[in-house]
Structure 1
Amino acid sequence: METLKNEQAKQPPPAIASCRKKKNEEATFLEDLKDHIDEFIHASMDEHKTCLKKTVQKMFGMSKIVAKRSADNKEVESSLPLQTTVSD
């Protein structure tokens, strides 16, 4: 157990190219979650800022795409009148 801790302490944290990369495709959910938490805890403030900036830009970029699509679709949707029935 201690050799595992020593090996982890000696290894420098990996450079994060994007906000989140799955390290092992065959990892279980809990292993992946543990890796994600470790990445989050050991990330520098600059990495957190970069990730937040990328996430916000991605969200606004997606909302612009949706707004453009809805503006391009000027078709009128047909709707049926609401019919209600009352039973005694």
Structure 2
Amino acid sequence: MEPGKAQPPQASANAAMASCRKKKSEDATFLEDLKDHIDEFMHASMDEHKTCFKKTIQKMFGMSKVVAERNSSAAAANTTSEGVESSLPLQTIVSE
């Protein structure tokens, strides 16, 4: 058992509810930030990984819902004859 891994159950549950990624230093180089991120990932508990995955999926669906709503409201605003898209017929050339 590693000395840094012994945490009370309540602290572990609170850590799982925390943000997925915390940048330790704003002035860190890219490689320092990447190393910290990998260390965070390697030492995270399974509950932290599950929580982060769920948050990421919810954020993705939330963003796609916002984009869909924005597109549908823009489409509703452009229902006049000027808002109609034009299309060109598909032309194919068959060579013998």
TM-score (norm. length: structure 2): 0.64
Q: Which runs of 4+ in 1 moved over 4 A?
A: 9-13, 77-81
Q: Provide the rounded CA distance (Å) in 2 between the counterparts of 1:78 and 1:39.
A: 49
3-state SS of paired residue (1:73): helix
* 1:37 Cα deviation from its structure 2 partner: 0.2
Residue 38 (structure 2) pairs with residue 58 (structure 1): no
Residue 47 (structure 2) pairs with residue 46 (structure 1): yes
Q: In structure 2, do the counterparts of structure 1 residues 77 and 19 end up closer, same or farther at CA, with 3 Å as the change threshold?
A: farther
**CA deviation map 1:41-72 (0-9, x unaligned):** 00000000000000000000000000001111
Identical residues among aligned pairs (%): 67
Superposed CA RMSD: 2.6
Equivalence map 1:1-80=2 (5 Å): 15=15, 17-74=18-75, 75=78, 76=83
Give aligned pairs, total.
72
* 1:79 Cα deviation from its structure 2 partner: 5.7
Q: Provide the rounded CA distance (Å) in 1 between the counterparts of 2:23 and 2:6.
A: 18
Q: In structure 2, do the counterparts of structure 1 residues 39 and 53 end up closer, same or farther at CA, with 3 Å as the change threshold?
A: same
Contiguous gaps of at least 5 residues in structure 1: 1-8, 82-88
Q: In structure 2, do the counterparts of structure 1 residues 68 and 11 end up closer, same or farther at CA, with 3 Å as the change threshold?
A: same
**Structure with the greater relative contact order (CA < 8 A, sep ≥ 6): 1 or 2?**
2
Q: Provide the rounded CA distance (Å) in 2 between the counterparts of 1:48 and 1:40.
A: 8
Greater percentage in helix: 2
Contiguous gaps of at least 5 residues in structure 2: 8-14, 89-96
